[in-house]
Structures are given as structure tokens and as C-alpha cells.
Amino acid sequence: MKIRLLAGLLALGLAAVGCGGAKVDTSPSSSAAPAASGSSAATGTVKIAINPWVGYEASANVVAYLLKNELHYNVEMPEIKEQLAWEGFETGDVDVIIENWGHPDLKKKFIEEKKVAVEAGSTGNKGIIGWYVPKWMADKYPDITDYKNLNKYASLFKTSESSGKGQLLDGDPSYVTNDEALVKNLKLNYKVVTGGSEAALLKSATQAQEQQKALLFYFWTPHWLFDKVDLVRVNLPAWTDGCDADPKKVACDYPEMDLDKIVSKKFADTGGKAYELVKNFNWTNEDQNAVANDMTNNGLTGEQAAKKWIEANTAKWQAWLPK
């Protein structure tokens, strides 16, 4: 979901953002395990921040289900944008960010300098951001997938919001993106237009395929959309180490990232079995997509989708439980 460099902090609430109707279960378990005072986890409650994309929610709901039903903790799941979630480590409002997309700047600030957060290992998910067009466009215009040819096709992507240029559609304003810099530095005759949410991207991508509409848009894996809509990635200049170090000078593609978990230092020190479960949590892109698809397309709440996956994958999640 990016290394995602931070794009913006202003955003719509998660309910309007990117769940495609998915519901987050925030009700606490009635069987919270008492513990010594200290962090929120030490009083039997774990606070997992919910960032606004359904893949993140899928991971959070699976971990929350196990915390409540296997370890008997209360779980709070506040809806918080990415940067604000990191600030929650300092205020005590957040114990866990279950899916972090890079953020070296925030790691430096909150882990190295303020020392209020720590890394808690990989989620197992491999994350990649990119630019995509529907497959019908790549079939009709085979060279459109080379960024050097995008200007030739800019007129196809014009919209009422793109000021006479081609439109590059982005999602939630809080998502990490290099797109403004890429358009400028690659000298592309395009304007980045913010769709406002994951849901807006999903709707646009689906319509682009069904109605053969032109669309160039920012998207990411892991995501269930790739199982439903045929998309082709646009080739930007290859990513090399350090090519995106200066946000204003970025002129390269996004890297593949090993997505990781970040927790508060207090939670790592006093969270006990809850922290061990979070640290041990590790699954695949396919696992996440299955839960996210149930939440978005099959009418299940986050808790219901998590329960369905857990019942079908006992061996995987039992390996995460504290010994």
C-alpha cells in the first residue's frame, strides 16, 4: 500500500474511504485478561490502528480476532491515517500498526529519535505501488505501457478535473505517493487528480474495464482487484537504491517492499502474549486478498471474514500463538 513517501495528512474518514462496504469490528471482548498496569495492552486492551485500505483491515481483523478469542484481550481499532497512527505511539492512542509501507522518515523520528516505537517483523506481504491501465488499453495501444509514450496518449485521459492534461488518478489523500514528482520530473503532460478513497479507485478501475473507458491510475498489490479486473502496469524508470531519497527529485518507479509491523515501545516491553502474537503474525498476499475480498465483495464484516479464514487455516495461525 508505498518506499512510500508521505503524501498528505488531510483525508476523509475511513468509512468513506476505502473499505468498499467492509465493516471493522471494534467491540471489545467480554473476556479480557487482567494484567498489571502499564501500557494499554498490560490492562488487557490492545489498540490496533486502522489505516484506510481494506488489505490493512484484513490483517488487523485477523489479528484482532485471535487476540480476543484465543488470548482473551480487549481490542480497540481506531480509524487513523498513516502518519497520525505513528503519532499515536507517543500519545498512547496506538499500540500496533499492523501493515507499514516503508516510511523511513517516520521510523527515524519515532524509532531512532523519540524511541517510542519499535519494528516487530515482517507481515509476510510483499507490497508494490505502480501506475496501471486496463488491459484493453494495453491491447489496443501496445506501447502505452512505456512511460515515454504516455504524452502521446495524454488526450485519451483528459477529464473535467485534469485542466486539459491527461489525468493520473490517485486515491486517498493520505496515501504515500511520489506521483506529483514523477509527473513533473518525467515531463509528463498529466495532472494528478485525487479520487479521495480506495473505493473511488476500485469503481474507476471496474468501470474502465466494463465500459472500455481510458484510465491511468495509482494502485498497489497485494489487492484482490487483480483477481477481478485485468490490469497492466506502466513501466516507469527502474527503481534503484537511493533514487527516491529526495521526494522532490524522484524520477523512478516504486520499489517492492517487505511490509512490516510497527508497535509502541511500551507495548513491546509490557504487552506479553499480545505482543508475541503480533510479532509472530505472518501470512501471504493470497491470504490477505482472500479476507479482503470477503469484506469488500461478499458482504462479510471484518470479524466474519477473519473467522472464516481462521477456521480454514488452523495450522497457519496456531504457529503465531505464544508458546
pLDDT digits (tens, 9 = 90+) for 89-130: 999 999 999 999 999 999 999 999 999 999 999 999 999 999
By percentage, how much of the chain surpasses pLDDT 90?
85
Distances (CA, A) of 238 to 140, 147, 230, 244, 246: 24, 11, 23, 11, 16
How crowded is the C-beta side of 237, counted as CA atoms within 13 Å?
Answer: 12
Confidence check: pLDDT of 6 > 70: no
Tell me the Ramachandran region of residue 201: left when phi exceeds 0, alpha when psi lies from -120 to 50, beta otherwise: alpha
Confidence check: pLDDT of 50 > 80: yes
Q: How confident is the model at residue 22 (pLDDT cuts 50, 70, 90)?
A: very low
Distance (Å, whole) CA 306 – CA 93: 24
- How much is the CA Rg of the chain, to the nearest whole Å? 20
Nearest-5° Cα angle at 118, 50 to 100: 35
Confidence check: pLDDT of 16 > 50: no
pTM of the model: 0.83
Average pLDDT, the chain: 89
Q: Is 11 helix (H, G, I), strand (E, B) or coil?
A: coil
